[in-house]
Structure 1
Amino acid sequence: MPSPTVIVAAARSWIGTPYRHQASVKGAGCDCLGLLRGVWRETMGAEPELPPPYAPDWAEAGGERLLMAARRHLVETDGDAVAAGDVLLFRWREGLPAKHCAIATSPGTMVHAHDGACVAEVAFRPWWRRHLAHVFRFPV
């Protein structure tokens, strides 16, 4: 497993990358999953699987695909103890599938990509904590 320091450095190296749906190219474009995929490639090597094409509303139409993929390739942890290097999955409302991911850079900050903005490091504020659905770590 890469150290949390290596994961955080990789995630921060994507800051400023424009949002591009389904993309995963540092500096050119990525979405939240593309950011996670890029950090995986930089820290772990080849991706274990490639996602199929997906629409912006993929989670509403396809269920818990993000969560199921995370459970196949990451290690689920206790959501109460977020640490640097953790992968965070969010759901917007109770009963909806998780559809956004980010990488924690500290217990109080995270790097993520979202529509209409570049990849950024933001505070892990109470709003985000209320929507946090699952926490994972990169595998050993």
Structure 2
Amino acid sequence: MSVIAARVVAIAETWIGTPYRHQASTRGVGCDCLGLVRGIWREIYGVEPEPVAPYAPDWAERSGKERLLEAAGRHCAAVQHLGEALPGDLVIFRFRQQFAAKHAGILAAPDAFIHAYEQAAVIRSALVPAWSRRIAGIYRFPEI
């Protein structure tokens, strides 16, 4: 595991238990799935790579644009297959085939990921088939 990947996983683990709050990005106070990724990015790189415009909970259904995948592709390296994914990789999920991808998490182990779970908190979940079949993209954080 690279130094960056190890840092990503270690930082993500410190967010576990942070309450779910739409559009928030503060460890221990609140975050959504994007806020978790933004907070990890800030801790590693110092600043976020681009501003994030306000978004509604149903933004992916309304816009139809792959905003999450496109942003990940601008700032991280794409991983082609789940078999090539490593702990520390950013995993993006699509809940319904006809809608844009709208959920993100951090691969913590080959069979687990950390994410902000709506109406709960940041948790570690098993990467069971119900999750893995919804993966829309996997991205690796850049080295410093």
Rounded to whole Å, the distance in 2 between the matches of 1:5 and 1:69 is: 22
Q: CA deviation at 1:114?
A: 1.8
Give 5+ residue unaligned stretches, structure 1: none
Rounded to whole Å, the distance in 2 between the matches of 1:79 and 1:12 is: 24
Q: State the number of aligned residues.
A: 140
Q: Is the 8 A contact 1:2 1:44 kept in 2?
A: no
Superposition RMSD in Å: 1.2
Q: Is the 8 A contact 2:20 2:121 kept in 1?
A: yes
Specify the alignment match of 2:99 in structure 1: 96
After TM superposition, the score normalised by the length of structure 2 is: 0.93
Specify the alignment match of 1:21 in structure 2: 22
Give 5+ residue unaligned stretches, structure 2: none
Specify the alignment match of 1:83 in structure 2: 86
Deviation sequence 1:90-138 (CA, Å, 0-9, x none)? 0012232110000001111100002111100111111101101100000
Deviation sequence 1:27-81 (CA, Å, 0-9, x none)? 0000000000001011122101121000000111222111111111111112322
Q: Is the 8 A contact 1:4 1:85 kept in 2?
A: yes
Q: Is the 8 A contact 2:4 2:141 kept in 1?
A: no
Alignment of 1:1-140 (within 5 A): 2-62=3-63, 63-80=65-82, 81-140=84-143
Q: CA deviation at 1:2?
A: 4.6
Determine helix, strand or coil for the equivalent of 1:13.
helix
Rounded to whole Å, the distance in 2 between the matches of 1:114 and 1:53 is: 19
After TM superposition, the score normalised by the length of structure 1 is: 0.95
Q: Is the 8 A contact 1:109 1:124 kept in 2?
A: yes
